[in-house]
Structure 1
């Protein structure tokens, strides 16, 4: 399913799938290399983003979701760890393991990261594309404030806050376009949620939070990114954490029967 969805995506904010390979046990997906690392790591370094920085990244998420939803795909796994940066500092949405083609129907599987689940997902009453827009409200809050709006000591306490849509905007967001957008996204009633109506993602893209943003320049990568990775070369992995061999689950994969092209990276 992940391969099928990734193979039809063609958008500057969505991970590009170049090719797939298969043996008797595994499917291998060759994607573009995003050497800027995870947005999560950058957020941990900054603690919080200012309004312009958050808007730059959030706009790309919103645009990517709009594309997915136009294809009838619900993403269902938004979190900073699944947002990666390229060598120019631009964002890609990655990991379509929980994505599902549902068109305008509802689906009932409970999946995703707890902090980002919408009320309808927590209550397993069926969720659709609008559940992704709820998750973007959580993301924007986290980018600007550094924590989840529903942070709790226990998972059950968190779920209670989610289904009650109970959270507090920090003073710096109150009355601001960012706070108003968050309030509009974190709405229990799907029909009243920004992005949940007939206009879908157009309602999000057209929000006042994006006033002054040149969308065409964003798509063409003509806007200066707020952060650009400093890389020695195209294979520099310094933006990623180091892992020991025993942390690599792929170390025991049997590659017998897989044709290896030893010249694949010649002249890379």
Structure 2
């Protein structure tokens, strides 16, 4: 579905991301892990077409990203950036409604399916009670969920989320990850999310891609990643795995 080959990105004469090949399959739930400055957001921004690589090729469904018109690309890819833009004057429903513009544009008549998609997205993210509130007046977590609702309303087959749980409390982190996993399982939407929590990633992801100093360090299943030696090498800190009550999978803790 999405392939990257011979990628290199430099900033101020310094290489910040470099790898030979990475392919993200349709229908997969992939989490990107790594220390701060490892290149996670750079990789996400490349996939989201925020800027091109200095070297290399990125293709979506066999076509270079640069060949897609903006609306055509938005029908295939929905992107939640790490830093959310201001949306002064828009209430939550109006914000979520923006997710439908790749399908309707500014002048085409709105259909009942558009409103249904908006209502469903508001309900799925537990933000329906705030539909008439100004989006910029919400708390950080509520605002984060409103933006995620916009992505769901967009109904693109690939969702890109840069640290979607960063502003959420513990309950809403698990609620969101459960929702994303359910969408992935039931609709086949591919999801790529950047997280910082190894245990959250291991619990919900099918595949984990880990970066270290701008290079691919690991690409595999959560079970393969959950090695004390591997995690310690990834984060340059001692990490142990311990049993957790009622769960077969162990959890990682700093030693």
TM-score (norm 2): 0.28
Q: Which has the higher contact order (CA 8 A, sep 6+)?
A: 2
